[in-house]
């Protein structure tokens, strides 16, 4: 390999992924996340900057009984290198996975001599290794002194980055560009281009209990009201937004009119305008439900990741990645994605971002998740070349 790619140690990358995958880091596993954060702090300590573990922002959630509860999260890793540089970029990743501590999928196995299967190997412990070794390779170049960067590896990306959203915005401010290390959109290395958005809502419906036989007319059935809300929500769907009622909780004995229901649903707006229009319509819809059923409602949540269009500045970054790939013999393509990630949040800050700079692999969020091992060094070389070009003023 030539240039920056010649300093990349593929064996060391694989060893790190294997060690990190052995630590369960489900978003709610605070002990596992603490262990992983310490491992990452040690690993990123090789870079010429400061390493800090940042406390998560407070997050509340709605319990099954409709009450608000605190939702704890792990600390986030932040690395700052040359913060006074004129050109600065942001690199982001996440240490959490979707597999809790009691999930059956905990072990790493080899599927063949070039593919490993394990929790988080692609999404995104492999991506973290790509990021780290790309930066290590970049630091060995003559261009390193001309570029500063911040690294954020958060602990809650898989659940929406609610405990790190403000930190993402803080670190994105003023950056020339950003790279995020989600796995490639396809196993051939295709990047995710434009993305839709997502929002998660919980609506608490409060009615009035009564005996289902003696005086049902005195009750206000919260589940019936919530069911009506589900149907009215689905009627709001259009080409620009889908709505998925996901869970309805509430009720007790069959002979009691239920006085509490909690409806949880997800929306997928394709445009920022569609998300804003839904949020406005939801307010009117809840007012109508209250009037029709004699209940009270309380909404929690909202759009957590806005849609990510690709403007001219962002397209220029995509073109740079493709050009760097061509220099290394990699054919870089992209396609629109229905998924979301922290790249959505970064783009909302007005910063150009390519958010699938991680490994090639697939079947993420399932026990079949796999990593194509040669892609570790391949994608690290790509990132190192892109970062070097940014240091040389490619987007200036």
For tokens 């973290």, what's the residue? 128
CB environment 106-115: b (16+ within 10 A), e (fewer): eebeeeeeeb
Report yes or no: 257 and 329 within 8 Å, Cβ to Cβ.
Answer: no
Report yes or no: 251 and 287 within 8 Å, Cβ to Cβ.
Answer: no
* pTM of the predicted protein model: 0.95
Q: Which domains does the chain possess?
A: 3-195+308-391 (3.40.630.10), 198-305 (3.30.70.360)
pLDDT in tens, 5-60: 458 999 999 999 999 999 999 999 999 999 999 999 999 999 999 999 999 999 99
* pLDDT recorded at residue 4: 52
Residues 6+ apart with CB under 8 A from 190: 184, 333, 334, 335
Neighbours of 318 (CB within 10 A): 18
Q: Six-digit token pair at 277? A: 């229009």
Report yes or no: 359 and 190 within 8 Å, Cβ to Cβ.
Answer: no
Helix (H) or strand (E) holding 361, with range, is strand 361-362
Report yes or no: 105 and 25 within 8 Å, Cβ to Cβ.
Answer: no
246 torsion bin: left (phi>0), alpha (psi -120 to 50), beta (else): alpha
Report yes or no: 278 and 267 within 8 Å, Cβ to Cβ.
Answer: yes
pLDDT in tens, 117-132: 999 999 999 999 999 9
Sign of the CA dihedral with 119 first, then 122, 127, and 130 last: positive
Q: What is the CA radius of gyration of the chain?
A: 23
Helix (H) or strand (E) holding 51, with range, is strand 50-54
Distance CA 138, CA 149 (A): 12
Show contacts of 240-249: CB within 8 Å, 24+ apart. Answer: 240/269, 240/270, 240/271, 240/273, 240/274, 241/267, 241/268, 241/269, 241/270, 241/274, 241/275, 241/277, 241/278, 242/267, 242/268, 243/267, 243/268, 243/278, 244/268, 248/223, 249/64
Distance linking the first and last C-alpha atoms of the chain: 28
Residues of the chain with pLDDT under 50: 1-3, 5
Give the pairing of strands 177-180 and 109-112: unpaired
**Continuous H helices in the chain:** 10-21, 30-44, 126-139, 165-172, 222-234, 272-293, 312-327, 342-348, 375-391
Distance CA 179, CA 183 (A): 12
Half-sphere exposure of 115 (CA within 13 A, CB side): 11
| DSSP symbol at 216 | G
Report yes or no: 143 and 391 within 8 Å, Cβ to Cβ.
Answer: yes
3-state secondary structure of 241: strand
Give the pairing of strands 353-354 and 177-180: parallel
* pLDDT recorded at residue 2: 43
Q: Six-digit token pair at 256? A: 């009691």
């Amino acid at each position: 390999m030539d240039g920056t790619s010649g300093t990349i140690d593929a064996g060391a990358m694989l060893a790190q992924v294997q060690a990190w995958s052995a630590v369960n880091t489900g978003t709610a596993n605070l002990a596992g996340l603490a262990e992983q954060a310490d491992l990452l702090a040690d690993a990123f300590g090789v870079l010429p900057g400061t390493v800090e573990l940042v406390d998560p922002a407070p997050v509340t959630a709605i319990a099954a009984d409709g009450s608000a509860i605190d939702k704890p999260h792990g600390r986030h890793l932040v690395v700052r290198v040359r913060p006074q540089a004129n050109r600065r970029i942001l690199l982001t990743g996440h240490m959490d996975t979707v597999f809790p501590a009691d999930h059956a999928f905990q072990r790493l196995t080899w599927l063949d001599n070039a593919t490993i299967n394990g929790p988080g190997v692609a999404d995104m412990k492999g991506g973290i290794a790509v990021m780290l070794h790309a930066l290590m390779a970049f630091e060995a170049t003559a261009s390193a002194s001309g570029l500063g960067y911040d690294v954020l590896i958060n602990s809650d990306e898989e659940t929406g980055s609610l405990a790190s959203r403000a930190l993402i915005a803080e670190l994105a401010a003023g950056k020339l560009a950003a790279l995020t290390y989600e796995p490639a959109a396809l196993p051939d290395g295709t990047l995710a281009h434009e993305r839709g958005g997502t929002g998660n809502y919980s609506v608490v419906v409060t009615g009035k209990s009564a005996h289902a036989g003696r005086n049902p007319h005195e009750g206000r059935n919260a589940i019936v009201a919530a069911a009506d809300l589900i149907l009215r929500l689905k009627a709001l769907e259009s080409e620009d937004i889908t709505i998925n009622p996901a869970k309805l909780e509430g009720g007790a004995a069959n002979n009691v009119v239920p006085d509490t229901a909690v409806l949880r649903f997800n929306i997928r707006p394709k445009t920022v305008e569609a998300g804003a229009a839904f949020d406005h319509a939801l307010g009117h819809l809840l007012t109508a439900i209250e009037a029709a059923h004699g209940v009270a409602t309380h909404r929690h949540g909202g759009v957590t990741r806005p849609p990510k269009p690709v403007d001219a500045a962002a397209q220029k970054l995509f073109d740079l990645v493709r050009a760097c790939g061509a220099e290394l013999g990699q054919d870089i393509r992209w396609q629109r994605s229905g998924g979301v990630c922290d790249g959505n949040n970064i783009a909302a800050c007005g910063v150009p971002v390519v958010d699938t700079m991680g490994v090639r692999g697939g079947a993420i969020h399932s026990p079949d998740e796999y990593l194509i091992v040669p892609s570790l060094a391949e994608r690290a070389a790509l990132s190192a070349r892109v970062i070097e070009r940014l240091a040389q003023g490619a987007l200036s």
